[in-house]
Structure 1
């Protein structure tokens, strides 16, 4: 018994040792004057300083206090050094090989010299603050994760933080938000089994602008790409399909620090004061990202005691641990939100490679090569050779690290072998870090446009509002210009892989910043930007063909229009309610057809009976929502699995809703036929009936025979996992320590409350969700509200590790203090940072 008690005490001490000092006084070398860090009852820090240097030095110190292991993990990932941290692990080694091939950190190093002096000073001050904290603590006192990893690995002490560590994080952001590259690969792979370009395109339909409106309603800017002559490419080659498949396998091994898949997106909207209670704008934002513990965002306030040239910041919002500044939030004059624009900033170039050269316009051009050595904690070093063409690094077969094998083209081809190179805008060094600090100081539309011109990757929609009553939208981003290649066998707009041996398909430069879509104070009095198309088809510069299909955006727009039409004045409370909206667009599309078919068995039709009285809301306690979700996943399986290659099953996101919406209009269409039933040709109604029956039986097995016992939240849970220690492969006590208890949630993919799930996975569990929610009242900034998914702390032993998770799951937000008086009133702990040696 004494031994067990001693073990328990030891465990508590190990877990609690890394908890930071949050009250009293502490010396921080490098500070020019005292800095005050006030924390509210949820542990959120608000920093007050006299100079920018002290402000960002303190932010680095505080981020290290709360989230250093997360920061260290992120920098190992972005540098392709994960194997140094976690040891011999095939997934980590694959990730390192691909990230080294892409060269994230190499690009970040090149960006340092491009940045404005003030940005470099801020980044350096932040790094100095992080290192001041590291100097004060042993490794075990930094994070419990180090103590756990030390059990089986020989860990070195963490290296000092550098500004490039922060810049490399921007590459991870750009990677996870790069938009359509998965669709481009999926088109190429689907062609293998479908064999018809037009039929493949039916699975990637055009944006339904007649149903779901774009962000902007008009634009005078027209595309500028010139037409060029085309070459052809034979996508039917099994060898080419193998090259595409190997590229997909390689790129899918990269850890998605922000998340991936159909659920990655965001909602944002802003309403002018004409339609609000206060007479000034209200702005809302909730980015939909992967779920993890700790959560992706960390809340913070950065306040100069007196604004001046030496200290121009008075800003609060959401930051990333490891990056100084505020990424989304508000200052004293302007609030801004970000959603993924979804611009096509990647292309796969099919390269004909032979003897270290690639074919280009009939000539052989040497590949560029470099050697990379991956160090493995507890194992042997692994060496890879990275090869690149003029279009980008060769990513096919990058996981074959012993010998990067070439993939042969059909016999008799004079051109050599196929490889796949990745062209990606983020591999060109840029100035996004400058944009972060510029947005934090912006006060009007011109300031936002100037910041957007530097916000090159990832390409985001910016909605904004000002305290003097203006609202607006601005599209930033480095967007490739693609020539309109005439007589091309495949579209030349970037939606399909491109022939790398023909320069007609090369990028022609970047869309000028002044041509990017924007609007201020639109006549309808609001802007909704939720990943839908930015402009009507044909208007503005070409951005992409692969938008989110706009069902979330249209629901937000419809609710706002109804509120305005009825004379209801909008405020923070109504806006918070809309963020939690669970109206189901899938039901509005499918329910008439599902209720029209006959399910003759009295047992099997119990589920259909639920749908007859359903309010089409996917609340957590809804039995009908659970049944409908099962119907949807079974419908997709019955309709498409027989036509698509393994690994490309429908995920069920908004694209698939649009595919099925169109397909419902053709009851005898070929997609409905199940090719596995030889001699039988199925139609729409038979597949719908089968889906209803299969769902009834699936939920009977999972939730019980009585439909009244079913509940959507029972199967649709948000279960944040620790990036390193949360895996089922780890011991249960470790997982219990680092993984918060799952929460039942409502919502779903393509709903405003966008708790996405993957219909092809066999699970209804949440894969992506609003990683935070915020509502800003421009009339009274202290009346604004916010919440993050887990909590302010990255320490599993902290009470603030997951104290916001339950309120988040319930759709609740917390007060968001901004003024000095409000911060003082909200303070639960105050830490004074003093200059030290």
Structure 2
């Protein structure tokens, strides 16, 4: 699951960077990721100061919401008795006689454990965050943007679109949630309501099936494709004024030199005459050009910048930013100890407290047509079923495909009309009212074109659409609209339940045809010995527009006036790439290109460059060639591999630099014997990361807008690798130094010397005292109460203790950090790790970043964090006997 950089990550793990020294790079002035947290501080913490020191606060207020997890409880609406067992980590396994009872119980249990998280998410996805947190500007901005998208309206339409069975499951889940809420005061449900309730009325309202469907919109938004790259190209052009230079910063996937997910030889023949054939698209006639070299100017740049500001106001719920991605692979039984296929998956997402995943087992006591579920894995609190996991016959994992499912259209707007060809047609306008707890409501007018909602005028961040054009007011002004596949109602909810009960490759294929958004890679393995890959997703078809100065494939903003740039429909499901039992005996997906360019339907040009996938492939191939079969521990070791491809690319050039001063050369000497691993206790890794950060600053900060300063991800590694072969590349020159033209070696020297001095300030003068983990630290934060300004006792309660981390960006153990901020703090990472052995299902393993509970006072709030940080996992029991053996608590729910 791969996304891009975001600004307001309310469930991510933003950290406070160390104060930069005089030699340190000044962090890029990016929008604060904790702005909402800081603002919400004013809601209640002053009141709390009077009570946090009392024993009553700890004994009553904090522990009051902890649920009953053993004994017997009545659950209104149940048809028959349900059993819920919990293991040592508090993971619930639910056993019911009917599918509806199964999901009623899941709703009840997840409300027990994590209702505030569910409620917070629903307020965000409905554009109602200000109702929860009050008159907080960041919350109101987020609401304006989400209302403009219309997530909840789309979800409401989807409730009527999904199957009767899915609708019944969603309703049963909501009934279970509401049965838990009934008769409970807000303070009995979650500690957070006690805090928020000091200044606002916070009585949680009943759960609705649409609340669950709206969550899928947030998941799709955070895991969409290349919108950052699309906007960055336009912004880079605004300063570079040269398409060739812009293209140098966005090299094609082939320059990464790494393999694709599938070899074209592995593709089966399809109903359309070969899955490898490109989708036919019309060659459109154009009357203008896409936004870029032709549709440009200060007002267009302003509109694009305003669009970006609006999009970054949306809180991050799943994950965006450098390091957001995923690993998944499957290996056939001929290479495993059990003789059956094995599967591994670890999605790299935003990290917060509580973690995004809710582990669960959902088991029909008798599996049959009326109750077909016997599945376990990782769910989202707030949505029934399992998103990633396995049943008795099939295991599946997901990684973000990164398909381009969004396009920006630069529109010419005049009053309440916009231009289409030579005509001016009416904008669609609707009024939205945002209610604000403790303050007056805010009304906004949402405007839409045929392409989608207009997003450049949602926030007041500067003149965008009001200024007349140079040719006069008759031509109107510029605005930016967003086309996004998820704004068309779909059946992803149906796909979730279809995957939960899938038995074979054909079942996966049918489920994938329903999995509209987000576009994911599905890897799977079956108990009868097959491994496979299936690409789902609603993928737009774009016309080829002759004469365009930049590609018309969606990689640049498009001219909304010209219908030639409109989407032409969707790629047919039967033409989406798939494979079964490839000759290699394994399949690896880690956000790299699915197929070589020109093969299969066009998905995107903005892939992850494949360094993680290539490392996984190398480790798998090495062990297969050795003849040693894979066991679960081998897969766990690969998931925690911390070897860096950055070292392979950069070390030769860095070691060739001559540093005459012994003090300056002390850091460089560490690199001479370094094995390239980003281990937490490694001194060379710490120095190398500082060199990389400073190298990016010295090379690019003088050329690019602040909003696209390099985050240090794999794209920048490919760019630098090419530049290292050209000592006089234009980007080496520091344009801020007058009458001096810097070369490659001068910039490399500057990066090495400044990094040595930075490490002295940030850690110690003696390099032997440096360690990567001291810099690369994960500080998980609560979405509302975990940020700056909250009293220390409250922060200590809701924020787990910081942990030092191995890994890095584009490493298999992908603990991402953003070089553009000046900080090495972990921002994203493996949100969970799962290994499934279909030959010995109870030998499977799993771990999540925090724990099963969302209650800070619970022993399961963060009891998995230490093991997760160290790369350890827990037994993943599945069969009834194994679950019973690991059970520590049992709760009986009665009608």
Normalising by the smaller structure, the TM-score range is over 0.9
Q: CA deviation at 1:412?
A: 4.8
Correspondence 1:757 to 2:813? no
- Would you say the 8 A contact 1:239–1:410 is kept in 2? no
SS at match of 2:347: strand
Q: CA deviation at 1:4?
A: 9.1
* Per-residue CA distance 1:215-242 (angstroms, 9 max, x = gap): 0111522132221123225344011100
- How far apart, in 2, do the equivalents of 1:685 and 1:142 lie? 61
Match of 2:222 in 1: 176
Q: CA deviation at 1:410?
A: 3.9
How many positions carry a matched residue from both structures?
832
Aligned-CA RMSD value = 1.4
Match of 2:249 in 1: 203
Correspondence 1:710 to 2:770? yes
Match of 1:13 in 2: 60
- How far apart, in 2, do the equivalents of 1:356 and 1:580 lie? 55
Which of 576, 590, 597 is the matching residue for 1:537? 597
Correspondence 1:772 to 2:832? yes
Match of 1:228 in 2: 284
Q: CA deviation at 1:567?
A: 1.1
Which of 84, 87, 90 is the matching residue for 2:134? 87
Correspondence 1:816 to 2:872? no
- Would you say the 8 A contact 2:465–2:477 is kept in 1? no
SS at match of 2:257: coil
Alpha-carbon distance change, 493 to 408 in structure 1, aligned in 2, over 3 angstroms: farther
- Would you say the 8 A contact 1:63–1:130 is kept in 2? yes
Alpha-carbon distance change, 162 to 816 in structure 1, aligned in 2, over 3 angstroms: same
Q: CA deviation at 1:198?
A: 1.4
Which of 850, 861, 864 is the matching residue for 1:790? 850
Q: CA deviation at 1:408?
A: 4.3
Q: CA deviation at 1:262?
A: 2.2
Q: CA deviation at 1:754?
A: 0.3
Choose 201-210 or 553-562, whichever is displaced more.
201-210
Which of 591, 612, 618 is the matching residue for 1:552? 612
- Would you say the 8 A contact 1:243–1:407 is kept in 2? no
- Would you say the 8 A contact 1:407–1:419 is kept in 2? no
Q: CA deviation at 1:179?
A: 1.8
SS at match of 1:833: strand
- How far apart, in 1, do the equivalents of 2:89 and 2:634 lie? 24
- How far apart, in 2, do the equivalents of 1:208 and 1:6 lie? 60
Match of 1:57 in 2: 104
- Would you say the 8 A contact 1:303–1:313 is kept in 2? yes
Match of 2:39 in 1: none
Correspondence 1:75 to 2:122? yes
Q: CA deviation at 1:260?
A: 0.7
Match of 1:266 in 2: 326
Residue pairs, 1:409-558, within 5 angstroms: 409-412=469-472, 415-558=475-618
Residue pairs, 1:110-259, within 5 angstroms: 110-151=157-198, 153-208=199-254, 211-218=257-264, 219=267, 220-230=276-286, 231-232=288-289, 233=291, 234-259=294-319
SS at match of 1:296: coil
- Would you say the 8 A contact 1:384–1:402 is kept in 2? no
- How far apart, in 2, do the equivalents of 1:245 and 1:777 lie? 48
- Would you say the 8 A contact 2:295–2:559 is kept in 1? no
Which of 351, 367, 385 is the matching residue for 2:445? 385
SS at match of 1:287: strand
- Would you say the 8 A contact 2:104–2:172 is kept in 1? yes
Residue pairs, 1:26-37, within 5 angstroms: 26-37=73-84
- How far apart, in 2, do the equivalents of 1:20 and 1:553 lie? 42
- Would you say the 8 A contact 2:306–2:462 is kept in 1? no
Match of 1:678 in 2: 738
Q: CA deviation at 1:172?
A: 0.2
SS at match of 1:29: coil
- Would you say the 8 A contact 2:108–2:176 is kept in 1? yes
Alpha-carbon distance change, 713 to 401 in structure 1, aligned in 2, over 3 angstroms: closer
- How far apart, in 1, do the equivalents of 2:495 and 2:469 lie? 45
Which of 356, 361, 380 is the matching residue for 1:296? 356
* Per-residue CA distance 1:86-143 (angstroms, 9 max, x = gap): 0111110100000000000010001111100000000000000000000042110100
Q: CA deviation at 1:413?
A: 8.0
- What runs of 5+ residues in structure 1 fail to find an aligned partner? none
Q: CA deviation at 1:10?
A: 3.1
Q: CA deviation at 1:661?
A: 1.1
Match of 2:859 in 1: 799
Residue pairs, 1:525-604, within 5 angstroms: 525-604=585-664
The alignment's TM-score, normalised by the length of structure 2, stands at: 0.92
Residue pairs, 1:361-376, within 5 angstroms: 361-376=421-436
Q: CA deviation at 1:519?
A: 0.1
- How far apart, in 2, do the equivalents of 1:411 and 1:645 lie? 28
Which of 718, 739, 751 is the matching residue for 1:691? 751
Choose 214-223 or 165-174, whichever is displaced more.
214-223
- How far apart, in 1, do the equivalents of 2:795 and 2:605 lie? 41
- How far apart, in 2, do the equivalents of 1:60 and 1:210 lie? 45
- Would you say the 8 A contact 2:256–2:609 is kept in 1? no
- How far apart, in 2, do the equivalents of 1:123 and 1:63 lie? 14
Match of 2:90 in 1: 43
Alpha-carbon distance change, 603 to 401 in structure 1, aligned in 2, over 3 angstroms: closer
- Would you say the 8 A contact 2:414–2:474 is kept in 1? no
- How far apart, in 2, do the equivalents of 1:420 and 1:147 lie? 41
- Would you say the 8 A contact 1:188–1:496 is kept in 2? yes
- Would you say the 8 A contact 1:408–1:418 is kept in 2? no
- How far apart, in 1, do the equivalents of 2:445 and 2:483 lie? 18
- How far apart, in 1, do the equivalents of 2:865 and 2:254 lie? 35
Residue pairs, 1:598-617, within 5 angstroms: 598-617=658-677
* Per-residue CA distance 1:717-752 (angstroms, 9 max, x = gap): 111111111111322222111111110010000000
Choose 592-601 or 217-226, whichever is displaced more.
217-226
SS at match of 1:481: strand
- Runs of 4+ displaced beyond 6 Å: 3-6, 401-404
Match of 1:339 in 2: 399
Correspondence 1:701 to 2:778? no
Q: CA deviation at 1:37?
A: 0.3
Choose 722-731 or 740-749, whichever is displaced more.
722-731
Which of 790, 802, 805 is the matching residue for 1:745? 805
Correspondence 1:618 to 2:674? no
Q: CA deviation at 1:292?
A: 0.6
SS at match of 1:647: helix
SS at match of 2:363: strand
